[in-house]
Amino acid sequence: MSLTSALTQQLSRRPQRLALLEQIAVQGSITRAAKAAGLSYKAAWDAIDELNNLAERPLVERTVGGKGGGGARLSAEGERILALYKRLESLQARLLECAESEHDLELLGRLMLRTSARNQLSGRVLDIVAQGRNDLVNVELSGGGRIQAQITHDSTEKLELVPGQAVVALIKAGWLRLQSISATPDEQVNQLQGRVEEILEAEDGPCEVRIGLPSGQTLCALVEGERLARLDLKVGEPVRAQFAPGQVLLGTAL
């Protein structure tokens, strides 16, 4: 994909909450603004609640009922934030022109991500399978390997997930369950195999086990001392890390 095409695609994928903010300024109606932003009426109201909760001061002022399914307008703070975002888009366009490839920007987005989860694995969405109110998102990790994440359908829509999209999979260290390679794997769980790189024992609390994956990525698992003793793991030995799809959080760049 050329940089021009990447630029066009990137700018056309404006986050839905900000697209809704812009349409509220134009339409003055929740119903019309939701339709223009590609959201359901309920999703639009939810997005407005989120926008107002995330901001220090409300961005949207609304009235319930009335013609068009309820009126809404941007507050002075909302108008300021929308103008600021449009300036950011302009700067983003200039940045894209300077980047050697779109992957440069994806990498910068991952590097700037801050989270309490110890394990952060980059990858791309392979496909999304609907399961009632939830979705099963299949992710191919950078350097090989696949995992599944089970998230709500609302989360899929909020993240605007589509096949091929770059994502970061977040897994807390305490959610990893280690097994020896000779043990029978549990069913319906994610499994990543690697080698023990380091074991940091603790006098009080779980021990930390660092696992090197074939891709060059590293996992960190917290294991209680008693279980660690039963596993009898040693540095350099192969090990399997397991975790459930529901224990995978997904993140995307703005």
pLDDT tens, residue by residue, 53-68 = 767 788 988 765 555 4
Range of the domain at 251: 115-254
Could you tell me if 188 and 127 lie in one domain? yes
Q: Measured between alpha carbons, how far is 176 from 119 in angstroms, rounded to an integer?
A: 10
- What type of residue is 27? Q
Q: Are 153 and 135 in contact (CB under 8 A)?
A: yes
Confidence bin at 109 (pLDDT 50/70/90)? low
188 assigned to some structural domain:
yes
Tens digit of each residue's pLDDT (9 = 90 or more) over 112-121: 455 556 788 8
Confidence bin at 223 (pLDDT 50/70/90)? very high
CATH of residue 151: 2.40.50.100
108 assigned to some structural domain:
no
106 assigned to some structural domain:
no
Environment class of residue 119 by beta-carbon count within 10 Å: exposed (0-12), middle (13-18) or buried (19+)?
Answer: buried
Average pLDDT, the chain: 82
Q: Is the predicted pLDDT of residue 32 greater than 60, yes or no?
A: yes
Could you tell me if 231 and 139 lie in one domain? yes
CATH of residue 10: 1.10.10.10
CB atoms within 10 A of CB 188: 7
Tens digit of each residue's pLDDT (9 = 90 or more) over 131-185: 999 999 999 988 788 999 999 999 998 888 999 998 889 999 999 999 988 888 8
How many separate domains does the chain show?
2
Q: How does DSSP classify residue 138?
A: E
- The residues near 9 (Cβ < 8 Å, ≥ 6 apart) are 1
Could you tell me if 135 and 79 lie in one domain? no
Q: Measured between alpha carbons, how far is 78 from 20 in angstroms, rounded to an integer?
A: 11
Among 24-33, 42-51, 97-106, the range scoring the smallest mean pLDDT is 97-106
* Tally of CA atoms within 13 A in the half-sphere of 28 that contains its CB: 2
Place of tokens 């309490």: 116
Could you tell me if 90 and 216 lie in one domain? no
Could you tell me if 147 and 252 lie in one domain? yes
107 assigned to some structural domain:
no
Could you tell me if 50 and 77 lie in one domain? yes
What is the pLDDT at residue 95?
63
Could you tell me if 145 and 59 lie in one domain? no
Could you tell me if 34 and 120 lie in one domain? no
86 assigned to some structural domain:
yes
Could you tell me if 127 and 159 lie in one domain? yes
Six-digit token string for 130: 């609907």
Q: Measured between alpha carbons, how far is 199 from 234 in angstroms, rounded to an integer?
A: 8
109 assigned to some structural domain:
no
138 assigned to some structural domain:
yes
